[in-house]
Structure 1
Amino acid sequence: MPRAILCILDSVGIGGAPDADAYGDTGSNTFGHIAEWAATGKADRPGLRSGPLNVPNLDALGIGAAIKLSTGTLPPGLSATPKGGRFGVGREVSKGKDTPSGHWEIAGVPVPFEWGYFPQSEPTFPPQLIEDFMERAGLPGILGDKHASGTDIIAALGDEHIRTGKPICYTSIDSVFQIAAHETHFGLNRLYEICQIAFELTAPMMIGRVIARPFVGENAQSFKRTGNRRDFALAPPEPTLLDRNQAAGNQVYAIGKISDIYAGHGVTHKLKGTGIPQLFDKTLDAMEMAADNAFIMTNFVDFDSEYGHRRDVPGYAAALELFDARLPEMISKLRHDDLLILTADHGNDPTWPGTDHTREQVPILVFSPSLSPGEIGIRPTFADIGESIAHWLGLDPGRHGKSFL
């Protein structure tokens, strides 16, 4: 009986979407620009990586061909002729370039509304929101109150946070309210408690997520975010692929931050992990445990959080090479009728100005030992991915998207 494994390479976009200009992202190309930088030696980093981008397994599945289909240009070192599987390009119809929109649409539910966002001005958050937040959470105040990089603002305000007990609150161009606090000095459970309060206050504003950003360390040089991040997210407006497979009596394995993104809906098994190696291991573990008709979904967040937002081209290149090197392990564990799909939820071009996501098309790389190779074209909605998985698992068609299988 068939199973499906869906890997979201968070932020691994392959060229600006048709509406990228509306987001200031025309010309962005996360994967392609990384390959170009690596080919020139600009992405070399002693002790980490050097030379042209080395991703033979992704290339064999069609990443080069997908980028050429998306942009009309083949990046250096990649092939336009895949050796197996099917390849194509995903185009998002949901507005914005945030994590929930991309993931919900991938799972068959495009976002039918506009998210709420916070302005670029400082202070950023509405005064009444912060007043209500401090009162309900019993806080002496907050720090930050602006758009910021998470690692930068923790380095800048972490000492004051420890000294005063005030959490660090910040946002980005995404629909998000983020709260950073020290795991021991402030307390991890206390951080989760105030994030729940913030989520209840921001939900009527259509803010997609409140994210708990715990960190450890005793000074700016040693502060480091931990794997105990938790997302408090609005629930999708209708059943996703996860809900549909669970309702059919089948297993749904949510690995990494997947369960948080879908507000826990449709999840039967939740596996947490930190870093690409551990998330990869958890995915392999799920493949060992998964029964017939199971759906396994993993988000590999480090591409986005550790390298895209930090505009770290060498780090991003090394992360792609690490994932690629382990890909044969996953393929070797596939049953004859298993389906593997690799895709992304948006872009985050590390060569692009700023530190935010980029509005890009995404690769769709499809492989099964029982599937013939070929091209699936440019899909008009990410929902085609979810509907293809639904078709593979024998589920009834959903309201959005069309199977390419």
Structure 2
Amino acid sequence: MARAVVIVLDSFGLGATPDAADFGDVGADTLGHIASWREAQGRPLRLPQLAALGLGQAAQAASGAWPAGLDRCAEPLGAFGAARESSRAKDTPSGHWELMGCPVDFEWGYFPQHDDPSVPTFPEHLMRRWYDACELDGSLGNCHGSGTTLIERYGDEHVRSGLPICYTSNDSVFQIAVHERHFGLDRLYAICATAKRIFDEIGIARVIARPFDGQPGAYRRTAGRHDYTTPAPSATLLDTLAAAGREVHAIGKIHDIFGGRGITKHRSGDGNAALCEETLLALDECADGGLVFVNLVDFDMLYGHRRDVAGYADALEAFDRFLPTLTTRLRGDDLLALSADHGCDPSWPGNDHTREHVPLLFYGGGVPAARSLGIRDSFADLGQTVARHLGIAPLQHGRTCW
């Protein structure tokens, strides 16, 4: 029986969607701008494996231009295209859920960004309830911002005072950073769970625990991140597989994004390289008819949000070098699907996600070679295609890609 591997290159966009103006993202192009920047440095972006799967053609369909310096492959090895998100957001849960057949047809709650930085971002009445419930004397930050920047700014004061650092972005998210040893990881998780119950009242999608370690001037995030996520509003591919008695191996933050629902085994890892190794181990264990579902978070967390074009380019090339190791481990009837959940153009102003097309690249058993999929109207077409490959009931949303 066939198996499937779905890898989400977190934030790997291929160019702005027609509705990008609604999000302030007209002109965003994660891959295109990375490729142009790298070529301007005199060293073109080298992604031969992804190019052989049709990445260039997919990017051209999405943005209207071939990425600068990218290899040209006239006959890609699989099916290739791009997709637009039908959900009315550009956040992590919405993108992942839609990939698995569950578009989000409602608006999340958000924290507005004030022109005056002295105005607290979070509603005082909700924060006061949270402080009282968790026996906290207050918090630091209380603003929009980059977590790494805020840890540098407030880390010393946090260690002295014990007050958690709280911040958000343009996503529907409340993030809490604490020093793992001084504050305690279990205590961090407890206050995050409490915050999620309180902020559910205004429709906030996620509360994220962001532990860090280290000394003044050298703080670093640890692998103890945990997302407290609103459950998907309807059944996903994972739920359908679980109901059919199939295995779902979740790698990275997939478990958190889906709240553990429909997942039979979870593997974590600190960074893309470790997550790629966990993917190989999961593939070795995955039974016939099962799914290995992977999120590679570094593209987004380390390079997209931090607007690190060079780091993003290097990470893409590292993943490209890993691909032959993965494809040689596939069985003859296994399906490999590569996509993303949104964009996060590292050349774009600010530090938030960008509303972009995402790649749809398919390779393996039953995949028609050199098949152009064009532009799909929903990420859910990926989930529907995987469902058919695995021989289970069709999903409620999405169309098969061939």
Contact in 2 for aligned 1:65/1:81 (Cα 8 Å): no
Indicate which of 88, 105, 112 corresponds to 1:112: 105
Give, in angstroms, the shift of residue 274 of structure 1: 1.3
Question: What residue in structure 1 maps to residue 19 of structure 2?
Answer: 19
Give, in angstroms, the shift of residue 372 of structure 1: 2.3
Counterpart secondary structure, 2:199: helix
Call closer, same or farther: CA 1:22–1:80 in 2, change over 3 Å.
Answer: farther
Counterpart secondary structure, 2:338: strand
Contact in 2 for aligned 1:212/1:230 (Cα 8 Å): yes
Instruction: State the distance in 2 between where 1:398 and 1:372 align.
Output: 22
Give, in angstroms, the shift of residue 369 of structure 1: 4.2
Question: What residue in structure 1 maps to residue 136 of structure 2?
Answer: 139
Counterpart secondary structure, 2:223: coil
TM-score of the two chains, using structure 1 as the length reference: 0.97
Question: What residue in structure 2 maps to residue 46 of structure 1?
Answer: none
Q: Which amino acid in 2 is paired with 1:243?
A: D
Instruction: State the distance in 2 between where 1:261 and 1:267 align.
Output: 11
Contact in 2 for aligned 1:87/1:376 (Cα 8 Å): yes
Instruction: State the distance in 2 between where 1:398 and 1:11 align.
Output: 24
Q: How does 1:58-137 map to 2 (within 5 A)?
A: 58-78=50-70, 79=72, 81-121=74-114, 122-137=119-134
Whether 1:30 aligns to 2:26 is no
Indicate which of 266, 271, 278 corresponds to 2:262: 266
Contact in 2 for aligned 1:231/1:261 (Cα 8 Å): yes
Give, in angstroms, the shift of residue 36 of structure 1: 0.6
Range with bigger deviation, 81-90 or 345-354: 81-90
Question: What residue in structure 2 maps to residue 307 of structure 1?
Answer: 303
Q: Which amino acid in 2 is paired with 1:332?
A: T
Counterpart secondary structure, 2:14: coil
Question: What residue in structure 2 maps to residue 155 of structure 1?
Answer: 152
- Percent identity (aligned): 51
Instruction: State the distance in 2 between where 1:245 and 1:174 align.
Output: 29
Q: How does 1:2-401 map to 2 (within 5 A)?
A: 2-41=2-41, 51-78=43-70, 79=72, 81-121=74-114, 122-219=119-216, 221-373=217-369, 374-401=371-398
Paired residue total: 396
Give, in angstroms, the shift of residue 320 of structure 1: 0.2
Question: What residue in structure 2 maps to residue 404 of structure 1?
Answer: 401
Call closer, same or farther: CA 1:3–1:252 in 2, change over 3 Å.
Answer: same
Counterpart secondary structure, 1:217: strand
Query: What's the CA shift string for 1:180-236, capped at 9, x where partnerless?
Result: 0000000011000000000010112110000000000111x2100011100000000
- The gaps in structure 2 that reach 5 residues or longer are none
Contact in 1 for aligned 2:381/2:399 (Cα 8 Å): yes
Counterpart secondary structure, 1:297: strand
Instruction: State the distance in 1 between where 2:160 and 2:128 align.
Output: 21
Give, in angstroms, the shift of residue 396 of structure 1: 1.0
Call closer, same or farther: CA 1:250–1:355 in 2, change over 3 Å.
Answer: same
Instruction: State the distance in 2 between where 1:353 and 1:202 align.
Output: 28
Contact in 2 for aligned 1:12/1:303 (Cα 8 Å): yes
Counterpart secondary structure, 2:184: helix
Q: Which amino acid in 2 is paired with 1:260?
A: D
Q: Which amino acid in 2 is paired with 1:400?
A: H
Over aligned residue pairs, what C-alpha RMSD do you find?
Answer: 0.9
Contact in 2 for aligned 1:65/1:82 (Cα 8 Å): no
Give, in angstroms, the shift of residue 80 of structure 1: 5.8
Counterpart secondary structure, 2:171: coil
TM-score of the two chains, using structure 2 as the length reference: 0.97
Give, in angstroms, the shift of residue 82 of structure 1: 4.3
Q: Which amino acid in 1 is paired with 2:9?
A: L
